[in-house]
Structure 1
Amino acid sequence: MTQKDQKVFYITGASKGFGLILVNQLLERGFNVAATSRNKEQLVNVINNKLVTEENFLPLQVDLTSDESVKKSIEDTISKFTRIDVIINNAGYGQFGTIEELTDKEVRDNFECNLFGVISVVRNALPHLRTNKFFANGPRIINISSIAGFTGSFPGCSIYSSTKFALEGLTEGLGADLKEFGIHVSSVKPGYFRTSFLEKDSMAGPANPIKEYTAVRHVQEMHQGQINGNQSGDPEKGCKVIIDHALSENPSTHLFLGPDSMKYAQSKIESIQNDIKTNHEVASSTDFSQ
């Protein structure tokens, strides 16, 4: 790969799951990578060191809930690589539990990581992205969302889904805001992939579960027991698609990743279309002219 093609990626949540695979695949393909984790030492230990050189990799210890920590990581990346071409906002975690069960802190912590951390990264990176002319078709922002950000009909996931629904709105709004600068913004909505996402350190449960929510507990146990480790999605293949999407000439705003994700999306679209049809007559009678 020539120097001209050595694009610079900035990836959050890089010490496991999609983030770790993305970093290793990018390094293997010859790109430069700045990667963040809450624990820098852990990140360095899990990366494929055979792919790492002093020139192509920058591990960063970052607290995404701290704007100062995020700002410094962006500045450190610019200092080492002179620019950022692609941001992949991958950091996040799942939160099982109904609204009644979850404390205010549990809810806000999920939003802090899954949404406000993304906002902090984008806010601090935009001054550099807007002036970046290295990428011929414009810099990219890739937000790793979830199919749960498009359809919220998963019992026990209302808070997690709402963080991802908000991320979807942010993605579309950013795309409109940044169009004049040639910056492409996309959302990736994975289905079930065989990563550590359903493990307890990535999928939190309510500290104070309510026994009456039997259906929700059943879904939680099913995900962390039967589904965990048996997901149909291959994360290596999924990450390749994400990287190819980021490098494509005109990346689409929405990327539904996995056959199950596309199936859930089609079902939601059909449901919306049916609701529009059902309420069309009465909903069309609300203008002053009617």
Structure 2
Amino acid sequence: MAVVVVTDSASGLSADVVAELGIEVVPLHVLVGDRQIREGVDPIEIDYSTDSVSTSAASPGELREAYERALRHSDGDGVVAIHLSRTLSATWESGRQAVRDMGAEDRVRLVDSLGAGLATGLPVLAAARRARAGEALDAVYERAVAAAARARTFILVNRTEQLRKGGRLSSAAAFFGSELVTKPLLHLVEGKLELREKVRTRSRAYAKLVAAAVDAAGGEGAALGVQHLGAAEAAENIAAQLREQVPDVEELHVTEFGPTLGVHLGVGALGVLVVPGGCA
């Protein structure tokens, strides 16, 4: 058979891509009152303006079940599991526990993507394409690690309250000042969400977002992703600018943030994910 790639539902990949490349996706959870809803599996409607909605990671048991299923499908060739940053979620730690419980360290290789959303999804694509080409476990794993290390993430949010409450934003957030008059532009640094700069107007913030992505892409071609929550028109405009300004765009995905990320980022959030050199 072939190596099977596993990820979590925060990776932002479409159902069509997942099916085409045989990727196993483990749902994360959205907690609404006393209900625990599986992202991408159960019907869900969320009021993103309330603080009563939260999220939780996949459990070691859920991940073990997914890894064991993927191992069977690989017919012994092995599994590469790529999850969102361990500083943003307990999912990676749950995965490590699952692998230990299985005694499968030599057959299930775990990767911290150092990101979330398509910053996880693009390294997943890089690995899954190598797996589909018939490459061995070590080669698929190394491709995922290399793509994750190159990935850059820039996020514009309207508010940081949920991120700060959840401990997902560094202490630099203390220097934001009033969020009513500034737009915080964030980025991921070694898996941690930090303030990049403050911008006073939304139009200026969009320009800064595009400029940061263009600079990160370099001149050798890149894989790009634009994600949003309730800001489809702005996302398409940013995608169009990136197509014009980034040389030799290898691929560009435009999607919405899923609920587990949207709960923390809020309506109006926009993110640009860049993998210099691409994910082919």
Structure number with the higher strand fraction is 2
* TM-score, with length taken from structure 2: 0.35
* TM-score, with length taken from structure 1: 0.34
Structure number with the higher helix fraction is 1
Structure index of larger Rg: 1
